[in-house]
Amino acid sequence: MSVTDLSATPKRGLSPSPPSIDGLIVNARRLAHSHWSSYSGGMELFLPDEAATQALGAAVAKVLRRGDVVCLSGPLGAGKSSLARALIRSLTSPEEEVPSPTYTLAQSYNGAEFPIAHFDLYRLKAPEEADELGLDEALVAGAAVIEWPQRLGSRLPTDRLSLEITHANDGAARTAHLSFHGAWGGRKLDV
C-alpha cells in the first residue's frame, strides 16, 4: 500500500501488496481497482464491500493520535459501526468485542497506546446532552470515534476527520467522503 498525500493530484493504481493489521488483512488490490480521488482537504473512496469498509477503518487507526476525533456520518445501515469496529480492533485486538453503542451511547476501550471512546449520538435530542457522556474527558485521555456527530451541532470538535459513508449503486457497495479539519489537515492516510 502507498501513502497518499491528500493535497496531491489524484493518482490511480496503488501498490498491490497488502499488509496485515492486527489480524485484519487490508485488501489494497481491491481498493486499487476501485475508484478514488483526492481533493484539497479530503478524498473520496469507493468501497465495494464490507471488507473494504473495514480496511478503511484499519487505515484510519494507523494515523490516529491521542486527542483525535473521527466523526462518522451517513444513513442507517451505511457501515459506520462496521468501520468503527475495524478501527477499534486495529488499536486493541482483533478479538475485541465491539458492540454498537446505540443504547449505551458510549463505550470505552484500552488501546495499546491510549484509550479509545466510541460514541453513538443518534438518540440525543439536543447537543447539550453530550456533556454528560464524557467526550471532553475522552479526548484528554485518548481518542474518540463519534457516530452521528451532527447531533453535536456547533459543539463539533474543530480538529477532526469527518467521514461520511453513503450507499453506492448496489447493496454492498459504499462511497466514503473524507474531510480533514484542523490538525488532520496535513495527515497522510495509507489507503
Contact 144, 69 (CB under 8 A): yes
Which residues have a Cβ under 8 Å from the Cβ of 65 and sit 6 or more positions away? 143
Beta bridge partners of 160: 181
- CATH number of the domain enclosing 96: 3.40.50.300
Going 49 to 52 to 58 to 59, the CA torsion angle's sign is negative
Beta bridge partners of 179: 42, 162
Q: What range defines the domain where residue 69 resides?
A: 3-190
Which pLDDT tens digit goes with each residue over 98-145?
867 776 788 888 899 999 999 999 988 888 888 888 888 888 889 999
pTM of the model: 0.76
Contact 15, 29 (CB under 8 A): no
Q: Structural domain tally of the chain?
A: 1
Which pLDDT tens digit goes with each residue over 55-114?
999 999 999 999 999 999 999 888 899 999 999 999 988 887 886 777 678 888 889 999
Res 37 pLDDT > 70:
no
